[in-house]
Amino acid sequence: RLAPATAMAGAAVCRAVERVCGLSPGLKWPNDPVLDGRKLCGILTELSLEGETGRVDHVALGIGINVLQRPEDFPPEIRETATSLAQALGRPVSRPALAAELIREIDRLCAALLAGDTAPYLAEYRRRCVNLGRTVRLLTPGGGGETAEALDIGEDFGLVVRTADGGIRTVRSGEVSVRGLYGYTE
């Protein structure tokens, strides 16, 4: 039941940003909120299991939203692929207001996970996913990769793709990294 937590957190970030800033971020699979083809936020999830029972001890969501950065604040190697809310809006954003709204969204996410009600998040994720209908490059951790067409987001938030040989399969976070052919999302 916790597998979709990271993807759902991406949708939660998008909701919070939309409410506070009026911007409508997209999601680059598997969990990167993006604006204008640039990464806005990083999300990592850590899970700890109790040794003897295998029960979940804790889940930690690490969410880092670029709020006030200017282009020169980013290292040169990511300057073209990263953005901030202040850059997108042309003005500062209230970090306390954004943090409060994000906490409300994470509370909703936790309740949805506990209830097993991921359908609204899946629908929103599909609506916001910038990869769908596009050709993407699937990069494996070992350095290999292949080109595929992103078709859908599966019930488990995996990316459903059609490979060059016409086969359809679902790839999962950690298994591959997705990039656009002409940039971070394009």
Query: What percent of the chain is helix, strand and coil (3-state, nearest 5)?
Result: 30, 30, 40
Res. 156 pLDDT band, cuts 50 70 90: very high
How high is the pLDDT of residue 179?
Answer: 74
Res. 177 pLDDT band, cuts 50 70 90: confident
Percent residues over pLDDT 90 in the chain? 76
What average pLDDT does the segment 27-50 reach?
93
How high is the pLDDT of residue 175?
Answer: 63
Please give the helix or strand (H or E) that residue 125 lies within, else none.
Answer: helix 119-128
Q: Is the pLDDT of residue 90 over 80?
A: yes
Q: What are the structure tokens assigned to 174, written together?
A: 């950690």
